[in-house]
Amino acid sequence: MLQLILGGARSGKSRLAEKLATDSALAVTYIATSQPLDGEMNERVAHHRARRPAEWALIEEPLELARVLRETASTERCLLVDCLTLWLTNLLMLEDAERLAAEREALLECLASLPGETIFVSNETGMGVVPLGELTRRYVDEAGWLHQALAERCQRVVLTVAGLPLTLKGPAL
């Protein structure tokens, strides 16, 4: 099953994804897309690490998500990707539109052939004011298009608000 867990900052989306991964009763590989480039981001990463069970495998990959998914997915494994919007930011910061398009297309193309369980976590950024600045507007647009394309392909899509999951598509939680 492919699952997409959406929510705002501190909405409980990562915690929900971690619970779903644990409940899968499969071996879990956590795929972290962040690049902790400052003290505040280092603290966020440390917080996530402290919550994760020690037996979970960890892969840190900021750019080549499709490659890692293809190499790691198996029927005995649950992959938890946290998070897609950080992955998107990493690609946007390369200032290479072709690389962004290629990585996005590779991700979308590999989904149908992934065995096992895959849970994607992403920030829902399109529910607010249209942001100022070209890069920020592009980020919100790219995230929205990515979420729409993933939601089409996922069997379950959940929006998390205040720690409460609202199933938008697929089996209720």
The annotated binding site for GTP is made up of 7-14, 32-34, 49-52, 60, 82
Q: Which of 1, 35, 36, 48 is catalytic?
A: 48
Counting beta carbons within 10 angstroms of the beta carbon of residue 45, is it exposed (0 to 12), middle (13 to 18) or buried (19 or more)? middle
- DSSP per position, 115-127: -SEEEEEEE--TT
Q: Give the residue carrying structure tokens 């956590």.
A: 30
Nearest to 91 by CA among 48, 42, 145: 145
Instruction: Specify whether the CB–CB gap between 154 and 147 falls below 8 A.
Output: no
Determine whether 47 is an active site residue.
no
Cα separations (Å) of 27 from 75, 76, 114, 125?
Answer: 10, 6, 15, 31
DSSP H helices, 24-133, are: 39-51, 65-72, 84-93, 97-110
Question: How far is residue 38's CA from residue 165's CA, in Å, rounded to a whole number?
Answer: 31
The catalytic residue positions are: 48
